Chain A
Amino acid sequence: MLSIAVFVPLAAAAALLAFPRDRPRLVRWTAVGVSFVPLAIVAAAWARFEGGNGFELVESLPWIPSIGVTYQVGLDGVSLPLVGLTAFLFTVSVVFPADLRDRARQYYAAFLFLEGVSLGLFLALDLILFFVFFDLSLVGMYFLIAIWGHGDAHRSALKFFLYTLVGSLALLLGILGIYLNSGEPRTFDMIEIIRTQPLPVSGIVPALIFGAIAFGFAVKTPLVPFHTWLPPAHVDAPAPASAILAGVLLKMGTYGFVRILLQMMPATFDRFAFPIGVIAVVSIIYGALVAMAQTNLKRLVAYTSVNHMGYVILGVAVAATVDGTAAARSIALTGATVEMVAHGLITGALFLLTGSVLARGQTYDIDQYGGLAARAPALTGATMLAAFASLGLPGLAGFVAEFQIFAGALGVYPWLAATGLLGLVITAALFLRMLQRVFLGPLPEKWDGWTDLGRWELAALVPALAMVVIIGVAPAWLVNVIESASRVMTGG
């Protein structure tokens, strides 16, 4: 069943290219329709999910048995919410209107291709399969940014591809390291590696493997100082691609930290948990401060992603610390996973909204705007809701996540947690300032004809923001699923 969610979008992507050139509406509606298939499958998977000890709904086929490669997909409490987020956000982004530049078939094909590989990545339970999807996501995103982006899109797209490719190749080295140490016969089977824990606990070998993989995921996440590809990629990408880049692709890095590093080499992660926690806090503070200094609306949102990914990694680092109490570690990991989902929804919505602003104003320069609330109440309301969620207002999704991360972290790394809390304060300040400068104050004359959100923009944004509120008000259905896995991973 899960494989259908991966391969229907991939097949549809190929089919869309064969559609007639002059029927963009048909192409668009086909893509929207196809994007509901994975969503339906996730809903069914969620209904059947039991939350036991291991992976569920596993599908397994020998692929290259000679070197221990298996086609294997399945779910646990960490991947199910991320798969749900991916399916949901792709539908939202496909619905959201975009400037297609007469290449409707290619645009929607690229989107569905990216959806298939993103779902595949979160479902993959074989390291090679995981890596295949990891790399293919770069190719899909490269073309989305390069062809449908604006500004210096070619350069930004190549920078994105190059940086994350270096990261992914380091990851590949690490994967090979795991493989060569996976016992006899060697295997890439993630379930098997998690079950048997074959890697040595001490010495230089696991440290090198850990370093290579952590570097690869740190580039993807991104953590400071490996984040420099992110701002240009986001600024020059079309809005729906930005939403996917922030909402889904960054999660591939954080998910990798959990699935591969935390689950396959917990002892080594424990050795490096504190330095990684420090890097996470640096990302939190640095991302927030740099976001504060931005006058470009989209760059601002981009840097808050660096800040939020810092929260996630702080939570994961806390969960990896063997010294911490099981309860604290489990709650931190649950918080980190909720944050992945929350950030995906919130920042996805924020990036779509910057697209709406750009489509009307042709610039991201915050100083060009002001007083838009008078002309566009829906745009204002949606941005305010997303911004408040992003800064962690109680009752919205971000709060649920950040509360748990810091509740866990305070028990394990009190000083790190206390420093990280500063990030929340700065984020609050920068979002309030942004809202004030763009939506309040006098309306510049040139925006007299400013229009409010159209129906397709609303059709995409309302469900996304509704999810933010639902998770904020009644998070139990999500938290329970995640806890089923985080308890197992932290021995809580």
Chain B
Amino acid sequence: MPGMGTQMVVFLGEILPEVLLAGGAIGVVFAALFTPRRLQPWMAALAAVVLAGAGFFAGLGIADPPGLTFFDTLAADGLGRWATLLLVIVTLLVVALSVEWFRSDARHGEYYAVLLFGTLGPVLLAGAADLMELVVAMMLSSVTASTLAAFHRRSRSASEAGIKYFLLGALATGTMVYGVALLFGLGGTTTFADLGPALVNADPLALVVGFGLVMIGLTFKLGALPVHPWVPDVAEGAPAPVAAFLMVVGKIGALVFLARFALLFPDTALGWRPLVALLAAATMTIGNLAALWQDDVRRLLGWSSVSQVGYGLLAVVAVGRSTLAIPSLLMFLAAYALGTVAVFGVVVELRGLTDRESYRGLAGPHPWLLGALLVGFLSFVGIPPLAGFAAKLLLMGAVIDAGYAWLAVLTVVNSAVSLVYYFRVLAPAYLGATSAPRPLLGHLAGAAVAISTAGVVLIGIFAQPLLQAWGAVLLFSG
């Protein structure tokens, strides 16, 4: 073994974002412990510095050749790095949304520690190239997420959201572990680098069962069918900045992992593609139909986020078959993440306002805020030139390219249906008699809304640099 020490240094360099996030989280815990209460909000600044550092190092390695690191359990590739970068940006925006929201919370400082751990989970998930690493990442992500969801201990709906998340998570993750065991039994290893070749000659039926069991755990993180019921409850009950966070980060980690994981499996007759396609179809349709009659804006956003991940799964259906798959995956994640932070940010800025009727006439007193909501919603529908349009264009192109044109048709139908419920919020806001202004949360949250909304617009119009980078993104799958 040529120099264990050198090797350690090399891979420490490759996992600096992960190390920073873990170290930063622990640092925030201790700092919060010894900081007087009035200075607790400064933990947000500390967390922001950690996140910026993690983002910087993720960006630094973004064009490195793909490979494995950390004892072959993590993929160091462009896709993982881009996912990390996106996760860090989302968390930074969520930090901005949180400072004023949690100002009076006694445990304000610790919140940022949990938030950093909550970011590390999906970061590891996005990079996981080993089944055990998958389990660890899922656990880390789930435990922190239910803590965050129930952070307002005295709120009934927050506790309900936290418990529902925890129970469903336990069930789904448990099922996933069966799948992991089955695949380990079939392949004799948990590392993707060895698992892929080992699975070539495995029994196809057993493979689909193994894939399906792991998929159930992932659908929990994705908020996709069948383990989606937590999504509307968390959207409604969790603290609004946390809701924005949980709607986004799990999806980024799980979708990227799923793309990497699916490529391990041989593309045989009874493959995984039809399974993912069916789940995508069911998820986008059920999410949309359930959103149609919601009168609670946060629940509506929850269901809309279910339907959105259905679109995102199209990228996985096409992965390995269309060159558009990876760009479409990243474009979807960027559009969805920024759009979700923008619209939840509007809710945060309106101090959690969630009754559809109370949005009536708000476009008069709050034109910029409602403008952000309009841009976010139109992007979700897929109206050009917003980021959501670029995402849908690429996703539909990718699935048609991969021979799943019917999914593109279903996407079209669902996009049209989704217009109805988005406009059930927008129409009263814009067309109703002008109402009195609402108290707003603060400038920092407003800035987060402005930045994410600008992102939704600019990514759509200036997609070229991103697509150029993503067109060259390689994915290490073993």
Contacts and interface: CB of A to CB of B under 8 A. Distances in A.
Interface string A68-96: 00000000000000000000000000000
Contact of A136 (B381, B383, B394, B415): B383
B222 interface: no
B396 A166 contact: no
Contacts of A154: 427, 431
A143 B393 contact: no
B468 interface: yes
Residue of B389, B392, B397, B467 ringed by the most chain A CB atoms within 10 A: B397
A207 interface: no
Interface string B355-386: 00000000000000000000000100111110
B274 interface: no
Contact of B394 (A67, A165, A170, A177): A67
B430 A147 contact: yes
B106 interface: no
Contacts of B324: 67
B396 A66 contact: no
A176 interface: yes
Of A128, A135, A208, which is in contact with the most chain B CB atoms at under 10 Å from its CB? A135
A467 interface: no
A173 B393 CA distance: 9
Interface in B414-457: 415-416, 419-420, 423, 427, 430-431
A371 to B, nearest CB: 38
A302 B464 CA distance: 43
B397 A180 contact: yes
Contacts of A64: 463-464, 467
B60 to A, nearest CB: 23
B471 interface: yes
Contact-residue size bin, chain B (C-beta under 8 Å from the other chain): 20 to 34
A158 B417 CA distance: 11
B45 interface: no
Contacts of A176: 393, 396-397, 400, 408
A128 B461 CA distance: 12
B409 A173 contact: yes
Q: Summarize A's interface: helix, strand, loop or mixed.
A: helix
Contact of B416 (A65, A139, A165, A208): A165
Looking at chain B's contact residues, the main secondary structure is helix
A173 B427 contact: no
A146 B431 contact: yes
B82 to A, nearest CB: 15
Nearest to B384: A132
A59 to B, nearest CB: 17
Given A169-B415, A176-B408, A158 B427 contact: yes
B295 interface: no
A391 interface: no
Nearest to A205: B405
Given A139-B383, A169-B412, A180-B397, A147 B431 contact: yes
A131 interface: yes
B72 interface: no
B401 interface: yes
Given A143-B430, A169-B416, A176-B393, A158 B423 contact: yes
Contact of B393 (A62, A66, A158, A172): A172
A173 B408 contact: yes
Given A132-B384, A154-B431, A139 B378 contact: yes
Contact of B464 (A66, A143, A169): A66
Interface size of A as a range: 20 to 34
B370 to A, nearest CB: 13
A139 B412 CA distance: 17
A169 B392 CA distance: 10
A162 B471 contact: no
A67 B416 contact: no
Which of A64, A136, A138, A146 counts the most B-chain CB atoms under 10 A from its CB? Answer: A64
A67 B389 CA distance: 14
B412 A66 contact: no
Interface in B228-273: none
A321 B381 CA distance: 38
Contacts of A286: none
A117 B54 CA distance: 42
A477 to B, nearest CB: 36
Contacts of A180: 397, 400-401
A46 to B, nearest CB: 29
B409 A131 contact: no
Given A131-B384, A146-B430, A177-B400, A66 B467 contact: yes
A63 interface: yes
A134 B88 CA distance: 36
Contacts of B464: 62-66
Q: Of residues A67, A138, A139, A166, which shows the largest number of chain B Cβ atoms within 10 Å of its Cβ? A: A67
Give the residue among A161, A169, A180, A208 with the most B Cβ atoms within 10 A: A169
A179 interface: yes
Contacts of B392: 172
B423 A161 contact: yes
A394 B427 CA distance: 46
B299 to A, nearest CB: 21
Interface string A155-196: 000100110011001101100110110000000000000000
Given A66-B468, A172-B396, A172-B412, A135 B423 contact: no
Contacts of B427: 146, 154, 158
Contacts of B415: 165, 169
B416 A166 contact: yes
A162 B327 CA distance: 29
13 contacts: A63-B464, A65-B464, A67-B324, A128-B384, A131-B384, A132-B389, A138-B383, A161-B423, A165-B381, A165-B415, A173-B396, A177-B400, A179-B397
Given A63-B464, A65-B468, 12 more contacts: A64-B464, A66-B464, A135-B383, A135-B389, A147-B431, A154-B431, A158-B420, A158-B427, A166-B412, A172-B392, A176-B397, A180-B400
Interface of A: 62-67, 128, 131-132, 135-136, 138-139, 143, 146-147, 154, 158, 161-162, 165-166, 169-170, 172-173, 176-177, 179-180, 208
Which are the 5 A-B pairs with shortest beta-carbon distances? A169-B412, A66-B467, A132-B384, A166-B416, A64-B464
